[in-house]
Amino acid sequence: MQILWFWLVAIMIAAYVVFDGLDLGVGVLHLFLARNEEERHILTRSIGPIWDGNEVWLLAGGGTLYFAFPWLYASAFSGFYLPLMIVLWLLMLRGISLELRNHLNLGVWRSLLDGIFGFSSILLTIFFGAALANVIRGVPLQADGYFFLPLWTNWQPGIHPGILDWYTVIGGLVACVALTVHGALWLTIKTTGDLELRARRVVTPVLLVLVLLTMVSLLATIRVQPASLANYLAYPVTFVVPVGVVASLAGVWIYNRIKKPLRAFLCSSLYLVLMLVGACWGLFPTLLPATTGADRSITLSNAISGSYTLHIGLIWWAIGMALAAAYFTFVYWMFRGKLKPEAHSH
């Protein structure tokens, strides 16, 4: 049950990154790719019916942590209180800007909300990447299992780091660039004409930056957390994960060049999933490493809930995921195909 719930939580986080990642990527491109109000309206319509549903995975992941790994939930949500509040405000601003931009037919109103939408999307991608990098690097857990992190200290990983240092900034940049590629590929699926062409052209240069940042992040992870290689060396077959990362990046480049947008998007999704799987496998069975000593780390064995809770939770989790899967299948099927230029059609 410990291993099962570890990977169930990992799957839900991966689902959030893949689905809501396309929304965030479109948000990052919103101010740079669209040239006029009509194109900005098309960009928001490309995610209009799905963006709020995609965030269900984030809520479900947090709820799963609550009953499956209560100690991890209590420690992480209190120690990361400051960045969690920042993320909460950014999520609210992003939702408000999307829902209200068309309520008033005023240029200044739409420009303001477009700026908020793009700004909050960029910061969210960076903070989500930095959050994952914080988990990989470790936090200064105390004897009681709690910790506090300032926004930054000396920008160096160490026993008492800040939320932001050179390593977590790299993680934030990787997430921002990866989701920008992901969003651009989604736009190649949903748009037509010159906007589709520009979205396709954006992919190649940004993808080159992503390849470079991915290599840098892998080397930086080995330096900051050498133990992340232990599972790979113990089970060499799992090196298929980093090989898959490279193959998925190649797939994005190839399929984007030959104008196979859906295949390119699926390769981008595979890249995001494999990066998360690789990070999880590098940490396993640790859930939250401690920079103050390995004996203080939160692991599967000391964070897991009781057997009864896990068995009952598994039943309700299966029901909830079946409903979510049915909903997502229905919405994405109804929303299939290219966006039409008419203002009121999907």
* Collapsed DSSP state (helix, strand, coil) of residue 164: strand
Residue 17: Cβ-neighbour burial (10 angstroms; 0-12, 13-18, 19+): buried
- Cα dihedral 301, 302, 307, 308, rounded to 10, equals -160
> Tokens 């998360």 identify what position?
276
Model-level pTM?
A: 0.93
Q: Which residues of 191-205 are buried (b: 16+ CB within 10 A; e: fewer)?
A: beeebbebbbebbee
Q: For the segment 264-303, what is each residue's pLDDT rounded down to a tens digit?
A: 999 999 999 999 999 999 999 999 999 988 889 999 988 8
Domain ranges in the chain? Answer: 2-230+284-334
Of the two residues 273 and 36, the one the predictor is more confident about is 273
Tell me the pLDDT band of 234, cut-offs 50, 70 and 90.
very high
Is pLDDT of 171 > 50?
yes
